[in-house]
A and B are shown apart, each in its own frame.
Chain A
Amino acid sequence: MSLRNAFLAATALALVSTAAQAETITIATVNNGDMIRMQGLTDDFTTKTGHTVEWVTLEENVLRQRVTTDITTKGGQFDILTIGMYETPIWGANGWLIPLDDLSEDYDVDDILPAMAGGLSHDGTLYAAPFYGESSMIMYRTDLMEKAGMEMPEAPTWEFIREAAAAMTDRDNDINGICLRGKAGWGEGGAFITAMSNSFGARWFDMDWNAQFDTQPWADTLNFYVGMMNESGPAGFATNGFNENLSLFQQGKCGMWIDATVAASFVTNPNDSTVADSVGFALAPDNGLGKRSNWLWAWALAIPAGTAKEAAAKQFIEWATSKDYIELVAEKEGWANVPPGARTSLYENPNYQAVPFAKMTLESILSADPNNSTVEPSPYVGIQFAAIPEFAGIATEVSQEFSAVYAGQQTVEEALEKAQAITNDAMEAAGYR
């Protein structure tokens, strides 16, 4: 056999073998900008592996319910799940996810930011690969800050933020000094107030899983939040979540906004934002107690136990969360649009270092420690949540009580009293106390 024939035969064999192994994997995901971009680039994965992809895109809460139902009943509808930092360690501990401990050398698992890898692991085993990660930080209007005669420090305190918010507020021109989440829901206003409470020295539970809403730091947190928002926040802030505040900020109606770092690419995009060229960034505020009020979150890809397409699913995860994928997005859509917050190498890349929000995003992520999030010791992992299965239900109820305070329907004291009872009752029923 000539060399040419041998080469042709080998190629044909490889093609036949690829075709024989080609599979269609089903991925459950959310409709966030980075995920949509990934869907548009899937052809690259298909070209490289022969596998095709079916997308099931759902709203975040629907996705959680849908995926939880499927995974607990072993329905096998999905080969890859898009889940967050809250679910991953819990589901990993339950044996519902396949460990990602055999990813290829080329993938360079050690390049994943330690905070992300830690939050997506259980007992040191990685159960989900971060597609993009985020913390929270201050996004502020540089022009309004200048007009107010103030200068934003890189790491401000809450007192400074309150003062700056009051100085930037201009009710006649519909400018609110500060916009913050107030909407009920553990992942909306609940996440914000929990992260904020860490910087006031509050915590959800003591080491014996007793609720801590009857302590002074919680009263301080809520009183400060309500006071500042009443002085300088937008009308109806009790129902504002991420999207509502994004809308206000993009229309030039907020002096400052403390929220997910991923919002930086939205507010600096001149196609959508009227204030794109006058946005500055700073670390989330603190109170001098050693803990800042920023959170840590990742949207990550995991493989449910029981899938029949584990190998193809792993190939997809390696592709979507790889350094090559970041390069691919940069090439097609620019460095400002690559999925942030997952890999160390991204922040070492000079091209990405030129992106205005890159430095502050990394510093925010690095300053968040889910294993040590509170001033006083606490028994749970997580910053804006406690990684226990009961938390989502409890925190949703508690955040509803807090939202009622923001809407002026009850006092801070009443809300904290109810939060204490709700949490202790639920923890007792769940067998923690």
Chain B
Amino acid sequence: MSRAVTTRRKTINTVLAWSIGFLIFFPILWTILTSFKTEAQAINDPPLFLFFDWTLENYAVVQERSDYMRFLWNSVIIAGGSTLIGVMIAIPAAWSMAFVPSKRTKDILLWMLSTKMLPAVGVLYPIYLIFIELGLLDTRIGLVVVIMLINLPIIVWMLYTYFKEIPGEILEAARMDGASLREEIIYVLTPMAVPGIASTILLNFILAWNEAFWTLNLTAAQAAPLTAFIASYSSPEGLFYAKLSAASTMAIAPILILGWFSQKQLVRGLTFGAVK
């Protein structure tokens, strides 16, 4: 009897999990499907799901109109650069907060997080003026710095949470064996926190990849990443949904593939310390 219940429960859980997964993935699936339709099919009522004349025309048009590789390369540099620099700054910061906390550590952590509560547009003009002064407008380095700073609180928080799970005694033992602070962080702490660091890197890479406010406002022709590429296909006067969907699919494809191959590491990192 209990065996039957377990099987039934398993089936229900599986169906439920797949249903929720499908529901979450549906907008992306619909975008991908629309990208293979003609503009007339894209607005058809009732909507066409699978049975339509599949076409690659939209991809050809997008490829002809836009320099996709330039946008892609900018996205890789901006997302990759901001994440790596952010992690390099955040590891020592999170180490100090996790293993050498002071009376103000919690306050500092909260203060860092509170910077995320300010609407980005509130600081657009000051940052724009600073960028003009420093000649950073429409440069990849400028965006790397801004996006790194925006995501830094999240990186520090995530790493802090992972580091808190590592017993301090292990680091203490390394210190007693003569390890310097640098060696302690690089050779002892980092290898133990690899799953956490990996998931932090992946999550922040995705956040940086999808960041649209700053990338749209601080770039023009040279440093514009894939978010600007998608925005260029949105039209208030004309139905170009199929082309917009093709552009969106091309923009999310690299991150989807990356997520697919690293899902094991991502899940392991995100659930790190969740079950004791």
Contact = CB atoms under 8 A, between A and B. Distances in A.
B43 A31 contact: no
Given A26-B220, A28-B220, A56-B224, A69 B45 contact: no
Given A57-B232, A78-B220, A272-B39, A262 B45 contact: no
B231 A271 contact: no
Interface in A173-220: 187-188
Contacts of A30: 235-237
B216 A33 contact: no
B217 interface: yes
Given A260-B237, A272-B40, A56 B221 contact: yes
B40 A250 contact: yes
B125 A73 contact: yes
Contact of A58 (B40, B43, B231, B237): B231
Interface string B18-53: 000000000000000000000110011100000000
Closest 9 CB pairs of A and B: A57-B232, A54-B221, A59-B234, A31-B235, A77-B220, A247-B43, A60-B236, A32-B237, A33-B238
A29 to B, nearest CB: 9
Contact of A77 (B129, B138, B216, B240): B138
A418 B233 CA distance: 36
21 contacts: A26-B220, A26-B221, A31-B235, A32-B235, A33-B238, A54-B220, A57-B231, A57-B232, A58-B228, A59-B231, A69-B128, A70-B128, A73-B129, A75-B137, A76-B132, A77-B220, A251-B44, A253-B45, A262-B237, A271-B40, A274-B40
Interface residues of B, number: 30
A30 B124 CA distance: 22
B191 to A, nearest CB: 44
A333 B39 CA distance: 19
B239 interface: yes
A109 to B, nearest CB: 26
Interface of A: 26, 28, 30-33, 36, 39-40, 54-62, 65-66, 69-70, 73-78, 187-188, 241-243, 246-247, 250-251, 253, 260, 262-263, 266, 271-272, 274
A39 B62 CA distance: 13
Contacts of A61: 236
Contact of B43 (A54, A65, A251, A262): A251
Nearest to A35: B235
A353 to B, nearest CB: 24
Contacts of B43: 247, 250-251
B138 A246 contact: no
Contacts of A242: 236-237
Contact of B217 (A55, A66, A274): A66
Given A31-B232, A32-B235, A77 B137 contact: yes
A196 B65 CA distance: 38
B132 A58 contact: no
A241 B217 CA distance: 25
A132 to B, nearest CB: 10
Given A66-B216, A272-B39, A55 B221 contact: yes
Given A62-B216, A77-B137, A243 B221 contact: no
Given A36-B65, A56-B220, 6 more contacts: A33-B238, A39-B65, A76-B132, A188-B236, A241-B236, A243-B236
B217 A31 contact: no
A32 B234 CA distance: 9
Nearest to B232: A57
Contacts of B45: 251, 253
A300 B233 CA distance: 20
Nearest to A259: B237
Given A26-B221, A56-B221, A272-B39, A62 B125 contact: no
Nearest to A247: B43
A62 B45 CA distance: 29
Given A56-B224, A246-B239, A69 B234 contact: no
Nearest to A185: B236
A39 B129 CA distance: 30
A350 B126 CA distance: 54
A73 B128 contact: yes
A309 to B, nearest CB: 13
Nearest to B234: A59
Contacts of B39: 272
B265 to A, nearest CB: 35
A34 B138 CA distance: 27
Nearest to A28: B220
Nearest to A53: B221
B165 to A, nearest CB: 42
Contacts of A26: 220-221
A73 B221 CA distance: 18
A139 to B, nearest CB: 14
A54 B232 CA distance: 13
A58 B232 contact: yes
Interface string B203-246: 00000000000001100110010001001111111111000000
A247 B239 contact: yes
Chain B CB within 10 Å — which of A78, A242, A253 has the most? Answer: A242
Contact of B234 (A31, A33, A56): A31
Contacts of B233: 31, 57
A67 to B, nearest CB: 10
A10 B131 CA distance: 45
Interface string B129-164: 101100001100000000000000000000000000
A33 B65 CA distance: 13
B247 to A, nearest CB: 10
